[in-house]
Chains A and B, each alone.
Chain A
Amino acid sequence: MSHFRSDIRQRAEELVALYPRSRSAMLPMLHLAQEQDGYLSEEGIAEVAELTGTTPAEVRGTASFYDMFHLEPVGKYVVGVCTNIACLLAGGEEFLEHASKKLGCAVGSMSEDGLFTLEETECLADCDRAPVVQVNHRYMRTTTTDAFDDMVDDLRSGKLDHDVPPHGTLIRVRRSGGLRAPRQEVADQRVAAKAARESRAEETK
């Protein structure tokens, strides 16, 4: 029995087909598992293990290496505030403290209503707009505490639903193209092309 919804399962199988080896689909598939459950459930992990030819311990071990994967449930919105060097110099630590008060949850934990999880992040590569805030990995560009507060209210009221999907949905653009030729055929093509080029080069000499 698949734990994944049929559309997620289908996308997961497409991922496996995309790579020369099935284990390569691990990270994108874990994102998919989070898209369904918001975090990595035991059932999700088992299904990823099955699809990638690994064990649940390996999936869990791999997932736990990466900050974006959550092995425990998180809020609908994961709010990340950067305190790394550029943000630090722009008051990132104080900003984080403010965020914690505003959201009503300590850093690293979830608010009681289950809406927010607050995280202190490392550099998010948007340093000219420090301190940097991401919600579900969308840059919010709220560099003042007032702007931050407004944003939180907008999230609560659903005004930002279009821009900020619930936690787990990372990439909303689905892959639509692909090299639909068998790999061997492509390799053969390349060899043939090389031979053709070489004979052309001979001729022009």
Chain B
Amino acid sequence: MSDVTRTTVQITVNGRTVEARPGELLIEAAERAGDYIPRFCYHPRMEPVGVCRMCLVEVDSPRGATLQPACYLRVSDGMNIVTDSEKVKKAQDGVLEFLLANHPLDCPICDKGGECPLQDQSLSHGSGETRFIEEKRHFVKPIEIGELILLDRERCIQCSRCTRFAAEVAGDAQIDFAGRGDLIEVAPSPSEPFDSVFSGNVVQICPVGALTAKPYRFSARPWDLEQVESTCTQCAVGCRVAVQSSGNRLTRVLGLDSDPVNHGWLCDKGRFTLESVDGNILSVDPLLATSRITEPLIRRDGQLVTASWNEALELAATLLRDASNTPGGVGAIGGASLTNEGAFAWERFVRGVLGSENIDAQFNDGLDPVLLQALPKATIDDAANATTVVTLTGDLREELPVLFLRLRENFTKRAHSLVEFAFAPSALRPLAKVSLSTRPGEAHIIAKALAEGGEVPVGLACTDEQIAAARQLIGDGAGVVFVVGRPNAAEDASVVETAIRTFAERFPEAKFLPALRRSNVMGALDMGLAPRLRPGRGFASEAKGRDTNAQLEALRSGAQKAVLVLGGCLLGNVIDVEAASEALKNAHVISVTGHGGATLAFADVVLPAAVQHERAGTVTNIEGRVTALSPKIVAPGSAWNDIAIAAELAEQFGQSLGLSSIEQTARTIEETTGYPALSVLNDSAFEGVVVGSTQTPSARRTLDPMAFPGVRSADTVGLAAHTGATVSEFATRHTITHGAALTDVVSAGVDVPLADAYALRVVLSRRLYDRGIAMQGSPALHALVPTTTLALNHFDLDRLGVKSGDLVKVTGPKGSFELAVELNEGVARGTVDVAIGTRSDGNEYVIDKLSDPHSPITQIRLETR
């Protein structure tokens, strides 16, 4: 952990003197000294409670040796403990016998059988026979405590790991103990189920089979599972995971205890959307996101039909070559779902073979890549320990869930301060010291007021007192981390970009953590998938190219003839679907993708690519940490990896990318740019390195199967100390180009129109459970996608004379339609919050109509019917 102090104390464990960190828990000090103390309730990522009493050891005290819980007691100098005496053994055996008294003997049919801490400890510690002849307690069989989680109360050993996780870590206390004595049980409220987006974690840390996940239940037996260590690519936090399969079928994803990143936790989207990888075998319609694309497709007589790779590549090359005859005639959009190696290969192809600078990995919902490159970066740990954090983002629980958990801990446990730009509802709000109510088009004004002091402009939604309080907490910026993203897709990026730049210029000592959500967007940008950027985090100040918006515009106008869509569904990701469709209609579209989707309606060639869990490579998370992906299953049909596709396509042009395998590509990246790739790839049990950082990563924790049951293989999961190259070592061997400076950022300037007194300003925000491929392809989570509503606070509802659930007529920049309103006090006065990608049956493209492409902010009018 980051708060390692240098001084040590000496304690005696079973007669041996060992060194320990002051204030360290006995159970950890003893474990490092080689004495493993049995345990159940203890979990290294939560506060100790000492309730199960399994870890009792003898500790010397003024009144003689007493039995004390090793998980709760902190070491002090000269402490003398005995973990192996007869007395200790009798106490521990007694506790285990008590735990088993009411525990059913149903291991053969229990989901946890084979990977159960209770079973394991019983085998290693138990006497084997029971003296308990009484009737065991009985409960009606499993109850559903949330949409995804089942609870079998008979098996529960009351360790309170789940309830503590819910309240302490996630802040979602929708489960708690009920009852008293041996009738105590974990219980939800009938009126409010446990639908936390982190609910799957309680299943993972349950030390028995009491909590099971509906998507995984009975799907496999632990001993059939094979595992690799990898990185989750559902968002850009980059949680380390164990990916498990039974044969070529993915069965389970478990969180790994990566110290700098996820601490073992995952969100439910990362954990439970495996089914979408396989795709629905019944779904063969290429226009559906749930379909896997397994063979190349070409358009013949208006229809997409199966083709050979050769036919498809030839056609793609012909279309691209024709288009590239006109200057600026081709370009590429997308790439955030690629690996770094895949992105590197496509960058070589687009710039090297097609000679085009039109390339952009972001779908207009990100931030200026040059600005991002120029900012001094913070790591997640920096943010999770910063004395003041300023968020200028959407709701982090919805966008980067595990980053939310890491930050939350900073405010709940360390009581550090959060200053929040309050754009729309956010789960961190209750923990914020200052919530600066911010309407669309105001962020840059508030930022200026914070950075420059002086008079606060009138008419802002936040108050002078709030600004003063925030100023105080930010001080001179030292030790402050700004977490910056795109809170509102209906607001021009220049608003937040200007705010960010103001902070960066005024507080040179502050650090910035980008909060972009698309899986490997940072890696794709580092590989140069944006105008003016170059592989290896390079920068070419003179270059000029089109970003996504400009490319779509050029396609519409005919200035650009063809577009290469790299991974994912373009139309599934842009806000203005109508305009994008218009653009694609005019163009030649070559799609490289693993899944179907609406974009394919316009595709001339579709090249099937391997997706997550099917390919090796590296990815880079929001903090710039490069970690390795390991394939667990083989891609279906004749899908290829991106390097092969790009290389073969280049061959069609008579050129060679010089890239053959993933390994070789990683070596090329590292050798030509200094960017860590091969050194990370070579060591899959590696925490990864942070690009540009000189911090020495800490040694990995020993895997404790009691804390992370189900993680199969201890040897790939960090039993040994950290073995890969450290960053400082890395930095001396290589030079990474740090290109852009703040002065290279080209500011568009912001020109926010005056607010229309009769209109509301729109915040288009993101939800974790959206209609993206992952959710659509995972039936278990489908019910959790919310319906689209207009969220307003009670002032505005009252003003309109409507209440939650009422339908209103919305008149936006592109026409009128009807939607239901919903009360949400997290929305600033005069604004309306609408979630992108929610379910809006019958209103397919309402979101589209809620953003005004011609104005930095969007204003709409609501009328009662």
The answer to whether B173 touches A58 (Cβ under 8 A) is yes
Identify the interface centre among A42, A45, A55: most chain B CB within 10 Å of its CB: A55
Measured CA separation A145–B188 after assembly (Å): 43
Residues on A with beta carbons closer than 8 Å to the beta carbon of B218:
none
Produce 1/0 per residue, B166-181, CB < 8 A to A: 0100000111111110
8 Å CB contact of B176 from A42, A46, A58? A58
The answer to whether B191 touches A42 (Cβ under 8 A) is yes
The answer to whether A57 touches B179 (Cβ under 8 A) is no
Q: How large is the interface on B (under 10, 10 to 19, 20 to 34, 35 or more residues)?
A: 10 to 19
B192: Cβ under 8 A from any A Cβ: yes
B554: Cβ under 8 A from any A Cβ: no
With both chains docked as a complex, state the minimum distance between the C-beta of B818 and any C-beta of chain A, in angstroms: 26
Chain A stretch 56-111: residues in CB contact (< 8 A) with chain B: 56-62, 64-65
Residue of B nearest to A45 (CB): B189
Measured CA separation A55–B173 after assembly (Å): 6
B64: Cβ under 8 A from any A Cβ: no
The answer to whether A61 touches B178 (Cβ under 8 A) is yes
8 Å CB contact of A61 from B177, B190, B192? B177
The answer to whether A57 touches B173 (Cβ under 8 A) is yes
Measured CA separation A143–B839 after assembly (Å): 66
Residues on A with beta carbons closer than 8 Å to the beta carbon of B173:
54-55, 57-58
8 Å CB contact of B191 from A56, A61, A64? A56
Chain B stretch 628-660: residues in CB contact (< 8 A) with chain A: none
B187: Cβ under 8 A from any A Cβ: yes
8 Å CB contact of A65 from B179, B191, B192, B194? B179
8 Å CB contact of A60 from B167, B176, B180, B194? B176
Measured CA separation A64–B176 after assembly (Å): 11
Residue of B nearest to A64 (CB): B178
Residue of A nearest to B430 (CB): A53
Residues on B with beta carbons closer than 8 Å to the beta carbon of A60:
176, 178, 187, 189
The answer to whether B176 touches A61 (Cβ under 8 A) is yes
Residues on A with beta carbons closer than 8 Å to the beta carbon of B191:
42, 45-46, 56
The answer to whether B177 touches A56 (Cβ under 8 A) is no
Residue of A nearest to B177 (CB): A61
With both chains docked as a complex, state the minimum distance between the C-beta of A63 and any C-beta of chain B, in angstroms: 8
Chain B stretch 155-212: residues in CB contact (< 8 A) with chain A: 167, 173-180, 187-192, 194
The answer to whether B180 touches A57 (Cβ under 8 A) is no
Identify the interface centre among A42, A54, A60, A62: most chain B CB within 10 Å of its CB: A60
Residues on A with beta carbons closer than 8 Å to the beta carbon of B188:
57
Residue of B nearest to A56 (CB): B189
Residue of B nearest to A43 (CB): B191
Measured CA separation A176–B179 after assembly (Å): 34
Measured CA separation A54–B167 after assembly (Å): 10
Residues on B with beta carbons closer than 8 Å to the beta carbon of A57:
173-176, 187-189, 192, 194
Residues on B with beta carbons closer than 8 Å to the beta carbon of A45:
189, 191
8 Å CB contact of A55 from B177, B179, B189, B190? B189
With both chains docked as a complex, state the minimum distance between the C-beta of B828 and any C-beta of chain A, in angstroms: 23
The answer to whether B174 touches A65 (Cβ under 8 A) is no
With both chains docked as a complex, state the minimum distance between the C-beta of A50 and any C-beta of chain B, in angstroms: 12
Measured CA separation A130–B179 after assembly (Å): 28
Residues on B with beta carbons closer than 8 Å to the beta carbon of A56:
174, 189, 191-192
Q: A60-B187, A61-B187 in contact; A55/B180 too (CB < 8 A)?
A: no
With both chains docked as a complex, state the minimum distance between the C-beta of A25 and any C-beta of chain B, in angstroms: 18
Residues on A with beta carbons closer than 8 Å to the beta carbon of B178:
60-61, 64-65
Residues on B with beta carbons closer than 8 Å to the beta carbon of A54:
173
Measured CA separation A46–B167 after assembly (Å): 18
Measured CA separation A60–B192 after assembly (Å): 11
Chain A stretch 10-68: residues in CB contact (< 8 A) with chain B: 42, 45-46, 54-62, 64-65
Measured CA separation A45–B188 after assembly (Å): 13
Residues on A with beta carbons closer than 8 Å to the beta carbon of B187:
57, 60-61, 64
Measured CA separation A199–B189 after assembly (Å): 58
Measured CA separation A64–B179 after assembly (Å): 5
Residue of A nearest to B186 (CB): A61
With both chains docked as a complex, state the minimum distance between the C-beta of B185 and any C-beta of chain A, in angstroms: 9
The answer to whether A64 touches B180 (Cβ under 8 A) is yes
With both chains docked as a complex, state the minimum distance between the C-beta of B713 and any C-beta of chain A, in angstroms: 36
With both chains docked as a complex, state the minimum distance between the C-beta of A164 and any C-beta of chain B, in angstroms: 27
With both chains docked as a complex, state the minimum distance between the C-beta of A3 and any C-beta of chain B, in angstroms: 12
Measured CA separation A58–B189 after assembly (Å): 8
Residues on B with beta carbons closer than 8 Å to the beta carbon of A62:
176
Measured CA separation A45–B191 after assembly (Å): 10
The answer to whether A65 touches B175 (Cβ under 8 A) is no
Residues on B with beta carbons closer than 8 Å to the beta carbon of A59:
189
Identify the interface centre among B167, B174, B191: most chain A CB within 10 Å of its CB: B191
Measured CA separation A55–B167 after assembly (Å): 10
The answer to whether A42 touches B179 (Cβ under 8 A) is no
Residue of A nearest to B175 (CB): A57
Measured CA separation A14–B191 after assembly (Å): 26
With both chains docked as a complex, state the minimum distance between the C-beta of B492 and any C-beta of chain A, in angstroms: 38
Residue of A nearest to B173 (CB): A55
Identify the interface centre among A61, A62, A65: most chain B CB within 10 Å of its CB: A61
Residue of A nearest to B145 (CB): A57
Measured CA separation A96–B179 after assembly (Å): 24
Measured CA separation A52–B440 after assembly (Å): 34
Measured CA separation A143–B187 after assembly (Å): 40
Residues on B with beta carbons closer than 8 Å to the beta carbon of A61:
176-178, 187
Residues on B with beta carbons closer than 8 Å to the beta carbon of A55:
173-174, 176, 189, 192
With both chains docked as a complex, state the minimum distance between the C-beta of B189 and any C-beta of chain A, in angstroms: 4
Chain B stretch 388-409: residues in CB contact (< 8 A) with chain A: none
With both chains docked as a complex, state the minimum distance between the C-beta of B431 and any C-beta of chain A, in angstroms: 13
Q: A55-B173, A55-B174, A57-B175 in contact; A65/B189 too (CB < 8 A)?
A: no
Residues on B with beta carbons closer than 8 Å to the beta carbon of A65:
177-180
Measured CA separation A64–B191 after assembly (Å): 16
Chain A stretch 105-128: residues in CB contact (< 8 A) with chain B: none
Residue of A nearest to B193 (CB): A57
With both chains docked as a complex, state the minimum distance between the C-beta of B160 and any C-beta of chain A, in angstroms: 11
Measured CA separation A62–B192 after assembly (Å): 16
Measured CA separation A56–B187 after assembly (Å): 11
Measured CA separation A1–B4 after assembly (Å): 51
Measured CA separation A54–B172 after assembly (Å): 10
Measured CA separation A70–B594 after assembly (Å): 56
Measured CA separation A56–B176 after assembly (Å): 9
Residue of B nearest to A42 (CB): B191
Measured CA separation A20–B194 after assembly (Å): 29
With both chains docked as a complex, state the minimum distance between the C-beta of B182 and any C-beta of chain A, in angstroms: 14
With both chains docked as a complex, state the minimum distance between the C-beta of A62 and any C-beta of chain B, in angstroms: 8
Measured CA separation A58–B167 after assembly (Å): 10
With both chains docked as a complex, state the minimum distance between the C-beta of A33 and any C-beta of chain B, in angstroms: 14
With both chains docked as a complex, state the minimum distance between the C-beta of B485 and any C-beta of chain A, in angstroms: 29
Measured CA separation A60–B175 after assembly (Å): 10
Measured CA separation A46–B190 after assembly (Å): 11
Measured CA separation A65–B173 after assembly (Å): 17
Measured CA separation A57–B174 after assembly (Å): 5
Measured CA separation A61–B180 after assembly (Å): 9
Residues on B with beta carbons closer than 8 Å to the beta carbon of A58:
167, 173, 176
With both chains docked as a complex, state the minimum distance between the C-beta of B146 and any C-beta of chain A, in angstroms: 11
Measured CA separation A42–B179 after assembly (Å): 17
Measured CA separation A55–B188 after assembly (Å): 10
Residue of A nearest to B174 (CB): A57
Produce 1/0 per residue, B93-134, CB < 8 A to A: 000000000000000000000000000000000000000000
Measured CA separation A60–B190 after assembly (Å): 10
Measured CA separation A59–B179 after assembly (Å): 12
- 18 pairs, CB–CB < 8 Å, chain A vs chain B: A42-B189, A42-B191, A45-B191, A55-B176, A56-B174, A56-B192, A57-B174, A57-B192, A58-B176, A59-B189, A60-B187, A61-B178, A61-B187, A62-B176, A64-B178, A64-B180, A65-B179, A65-B180
5 tightest A-B contacts by CB?
A61-B176, A56-B189, A64-B178, A57-B189, A61-B178
Extra inter-chain contacts (15) besides given A42-B190, A58-B173, CB under 8 Å: A42-B189, A45-B189, A45-B191, A54-B173, A55-B173, A55-B176, A55-B189, A57-B188, A58-B176, A59-B189, A61-B176, A61-B178, A64-B179, A64-B187, A65-B180
